[in-house]
Structure 1
Amino acid sequence: MRPIALLSDFGLADPYAGQLRASLARRAPGSQLLDITHQVEPFGVDQAAFFLAASAPHFPPNAVFVCVVDPGVGSVRRIVGAHLETDAGGQDFLAPDNGLLGLLLFTPGLAPVKVYDLSRAAAGYEASATFHGRDVFAPLAARLALGEPMAGFGEPMDRTDIERPDWADSSCGPCGADARVLHVDRYGNCLLSLRASFAPPKPVAWLRMSWGQRRGVLSVQTYANLAPGEIGLLAGSQGFLELAANQASAAEALGLRRGDCLRLLWA
């Protein structure tokens, strides 16, 4: 029985996350249910994409991922799946085709991946127009957890045909690189859309916010390398670059929040 990992914006105050888990427990009894989080900001597809890309490598190599941040629920948007090869048979990912897989499937050095349109299989379930997580994604995930291969009920599609919003691609020019704040964590660190492996042609010396403000930044390896009041750029533990301060909130210091865009400027 394969484990099932859950990612949603359902929160914990409503019964939605519990109903999703219950549907899976009923259809795939004995499958271990693991939560990435249910606290994605409502409709925060970019944040969910970041959480998924950062978290998937740490989950069991045969896990099934149910990713439901779905502002277009009930509409004609596609439901897509991806099968990522691993030594344990592979990880499978289910998501609406709204960009949620746009970071994961374009991770540098990613293992071979196959992508499927699951819309036809999804249409076979009697579903509420507003809760496909419980009524559609859960039964599809249960089939995978019970051993059915995704290729058996999905129609192959090219990876490049999935929705890939502009925030999933960070452009780099002769003077700097554009980035988006994908997440602000509880410490005030700003996780950016640039991978930790990003190698600028020159040291990054400045930040320019979308509203024109400039702020100096230091490239550092640890939070402790920063003096009080300094802003640092470093490769964080989640596989992406982040802006941070030492025992303070970089987001408050810079006036940034999730979804904001900025440019890193070379020295």
Structure 2
Amino acid sequence: MNAAVMNPPSTRARSAARTRLGRGLLTACLAFAWTGCFVEMDPLDDADASYADVESRSQGIYHGPGFFQDVETTYPEFVVVNVEGGAACSGVMLDSQVVLTAGHCWRGGWFQVTRDGIGVHYADSVVKWGESTADGVNDVIVAHLSAPIYLQSYAEIEPRLWVGDTVTYLGRIDGGVFTNRGHGIRNRTISWIGATKAQSNWGVLQPGDSGGPVFLDWSHRLVGSNSYIAGNRETPGSLDGFTYLSEGLALAIQQTAQNFGGPGTNVRIHWGR
């Protein structure tokens, strides 16, 4: 893990940063034994879009079958993550001053959390496990916010996940258009679980969804953080991959939050499944 302590940007720096985003999406290949073929994997941060304001009309992360919900009210713990010189991503609040997102979203500099109704908040400390979409790497970040965000509910980590579980993916954009609200889609069935990553065969995720929460259906029990879209030559972009929060990773996240110190750092883990 790598930790960094940061100072919030000046007003001028914030304004300039909102008009630029870093480039350089990485592409990796991973061989899955159960398919016998290589899979192209792309991180889900959106490094080419602008931060221009958009209308508040509904934006889904997928046009197709499924149940959509406005996550601002259904999942108040969902947040938008912006970072300096890097990506536009999604995230989830674990307590009033602790946020989880994808590791590949942040490569240094300021780290900002926002969403309709909560204002703009900056992190003063960030701990990263890894930033690769490959299996075997925990592509997650835990950040401590300098001021609390008080919500109706926060995510509770669910450290047990099985093939056949149905989940809800949450994200922030649709077709490259930013929304500060976020939407999601339910009833996606887990088809594969590896060492640190899990997938469903649906193709619902898009750039900007990285770091967005993956919940067990009809709950606030968090099983993962969106990491990549993948597919083979015949079906590109057909797999939705995320870092799943195993028991070991869940405990490490909980301890990291406690190490930040102070109120708003109580990460809950659900052990009853």
Q: Is the shorter-chain TM-score for this pair beyond 0.5, marking a shared fold? A: no
Between Structure 1 and Structure 2, the one with more helix by share is 1
Between Structure 1 and Structure 2, the one with more strand by share is 2
Asked which structure has the greater CA Rg, the reply is: 1
State TM-score, norm by structure 2: 0.28
Q: Say which structure, 1 or 2, has more relative contact order (CA 8 Å, 6+ apart).
A: 2
State TM-score, norm by structure 1: 0.28
